[in-house]
Structure 1
């Protein structure tokens, strides 16, 4: 069993415990805040940042306690983040849907529900909790699941960040005509990081799509490498939550002081 397989197994177990009836979750969706435009937020000439509320990770363990995720998200927004990513996976990342609720209520920019989306129910759940954007990890999904889940998210007016790590995954991703594609430099099956994934895969993503570099970004030179590879946005969590000063850390990554 790979690390990814193990995480998904836990996600399914936790989902089974909290699953509500479809009638109930659909009722909650009708009360959710309107969707914010993540595509617009990630479009423009300047490098965009998807700043992550991240307490822990399978590769590094505990990163930051983050007692007030909404306050952290507000600091990210003030420092120039375009989107806030909120981990909602419980076991390995110590996140929760309560974190998503708190962040969505505090910030004015789009919010990404960062989780391992492996069940149709999770998309209704994401929208009910105010998500504007969801993550679809190609390595975790079959070809039919990827297309079906992308369609569900689109029907719910949420944007989808389609995450790839290999050329084969990128090929599968492009088949569904996505608008946002992220290249993760971390292999989720082994947790190894290979920054050359950026220079190898990002140039293969059509220029009209929003291209995101994910993982392994902690210095200004990392950002420049991703940008030179063609990335228009970066997804950063660990470097911000462990910095002690997320405002300064973000400005430094963006070359603003």
Structure 2
């Protein structure tokens, strides 16, 4: 039984024992006006004392004071946890939050943020309880609700004039959305002015691992299921302003912030401002497009260290999605040696696979040459190979790119900054068994999706079976001894065949 099942089991027992009001005294009728939920782009800040993955976050949190502070920080909405066993929230907290935002509105003349009841709601009766307690919106988790129950709860939301944040993560959830929003009485309710907003959690509640790109992978699918103008919220995983800006650039209507806002009062407004003011970049456009194609049977292949046109064309013809070219004189496979770049430059247009410029610094003449080729559209993106995040300028971060590292600590730092994919070299330091399994036991928070380091036709099948990577990066593993940069056609074929064998 995973933690989600455990939470729901305990919650059912509590409802059976205490009723839908969990023993709290609620108004017989709603006592406050309804507020629109996420009518404009903005941040949902969360009143949250604890979580199953982190334990205590802010155990002494005052829900009224926190909500008032959130309103002052510019929150578009405030989420209040009312689950007791693991999140240490209650319906009393919800009513305090509602009082706080009403007081904020009365004192400042500014619109009150909408209030979301965040819980593992299991029936339409719980929607009514939330309405009476003052919530403007409720969380509906598609994963835990059968489609007919989801429809019943959604209709109750509409009946009370409320809004719902409908959380989806998997294909089964999308099928439930399609069922609900194909009903005649739901026409128009999923759009920009409707009652429903859709959220995607970057955290897998089974493993507690975070994948920052997963919400973007679901965006187009959600819009296909419910309508092209659906508002979509990015949930979980954002802890700093850089990540908030990165997520906003991906085109989300909202960002749900929990732990970062609860634990760090001093940066709440900065988090809000970073999300609201961020604009799309060439980098975000690249990753949005990549997200639409990321799901496939078997890993994507990157053949790196290419020095000859025939090898690059071979790689793409055999199915490689990425081709890598090194721009660093200290490396034997560098394109900047022996006139290789001059020979390849006129032929780059023949290579339809994504062309990656691999650089090891940002100041050398080789690196500057590679960066210019990306700016000019001759190459598609940059690999910052073992380059520190703080050494890369904001201007360069706007170009299509990813980082590569052989350090687990550096990997987590890079992803925490909002890097959608980081290439992890398994020949680095650290216990790489941590990248599998549950984040609570391993301490490794982020999914490791792109892998490199000593990969060859002989070991790729085992690696794919063990780690389930989205991409594998191979260079010397498809070369003959002492032939740096010269790829062996048979080895490339065998690598690609063996990489996909696990999925056949």
**TM-score normalised by length of structure 2:** 0.46
- 1:33-72 alignment to 2 at 5 Å? 33-38=32-37, 42-44=38-40, 47-72=41-66
Q: Distance in 1 between matches of 2:251 and 2:170?
A: 16
**1:186–1:215 Cα contact (<8 Å) kept:** yes
* Deviates further, 241-250 or 138-147: 241-250
Q: Tell me: CA distance 1:70–1:15, structure 2 relative to 1, closer, same or farther (3 Å).
A: same
Question: Cα distance 1:251–1:184, how it changes in 2: closer, same or farther (>3 A)?
Answer: closer
**Cα distance in 2 for residues equivalent to 1:10 and 1:246:** 35
> Partners in 2 of 1:255 and 1:218 — Cα distance?
15
Instruction: Give the aligned partner of residue 297 of structure 2.
Output: none
Are the structure 2 counterparts of residues 30 and 252 from structure 1 closer, same or farther at C-alpha, using a change threshold of 3 Å? Answer: closer
Q: CA deviation at 1:219?
A: 2.3
Matched with 2:157 is 153
What is the match of residue 202 of structure 1?
Answer: 219
**What does 1:210-249 correspond to in 2, within 5 Å?**
210-249=231-270
Q: Which runs of 5+ in 1 are unaligned?
A: none
Aligned residue for 1:28? 27
Structure 1 146/243 Cα, relative in aligned 2: closer, same or farther at 3 Å? same
Aligned equivalents of 1:20, 1:198: Cα separation in 2: 32
In structure 2, what is the Cα distance between the partners aligned to 1:20 and 1:204? 34
**SS across alignment from 2:199:** strand
**Aligned-residue offset at 1:140:** 0.8
Post-superposition CA distance 1:159-217 (Å, at most 9, x none): 01000112332342243234311011112233222222122112333341111000111
Q: Label 1:62 to 1:20 Cα distance change in 2 as closer, same or farther (>3 A).
A: closer
Distance in 2, Cα, partners of 1:51 & 1:31? 23
The Cα shift of 1:251 comes to: 4.4
Q: Structure 2 stretches of 5 or more lacking a match?
A: 102-111, 182-189, 191-195, 278-504
CA separation in 2, counterparts of 1:227 and 1:201? 15
More divergent stretch after superposition (187-196 vs 97-106): 187-196
Aligned residues between the structures: 247
Return the match for 2:201 from 181, 184, 190: 184
> For the aligned residues, what is the CA RMSD?
2.2
Aligned mate of 1:106, from 70, 91, 100: 100
5 Å-filtered alignment, 1:136-151, equals 136-151=140-155
Q: Secondary structure at the match of 1:72?
A: helix
Equivalent-residue separation in structure 2 for 1:226 and 1:235 (angstroms): 11
Say whether residues 1:162 and 2:183 are aligned partners: no
After superposition, the Cα gap between the structure-2 partners of 1:227 and 1:250, relative to the gap in structure 1 and judged at 3 Å, is closer
- Match of 1:32, SS state, is coil
Contact 1:164 1:184 in 2 (8 A): yes
Secondary structure of the equivalent of 1:205? helix
Q: Is the 8 A contact 2:116 2:138 kept in 1?
A: yes
Q: Say which of 65, 68, 86 aligns to 1:92.
A: 86
Q: CA deviation at 1:255?
A: 7.3
CA distance in 1, matches of 2:30, 2:69: 27
Contact 1:32 1:127 in 2 (8 A): no
Could you list the per-position Cα deviations for residues 116-150 of structure 1 after superposition, in whole angstroms to 9, with x for gaps in the alignment?
Answer: 01123211211111011000001111111111111
CA 1:182–1:29: 2 relative to 1, 3 Å: farther
Q: Which is worse superposed, 152-161 or 245-254?
A: 245-254
Q: Which has the larger radius of gyration?
A: 2
Contact 2:147/2:179 (8 A) holds in 1 = no
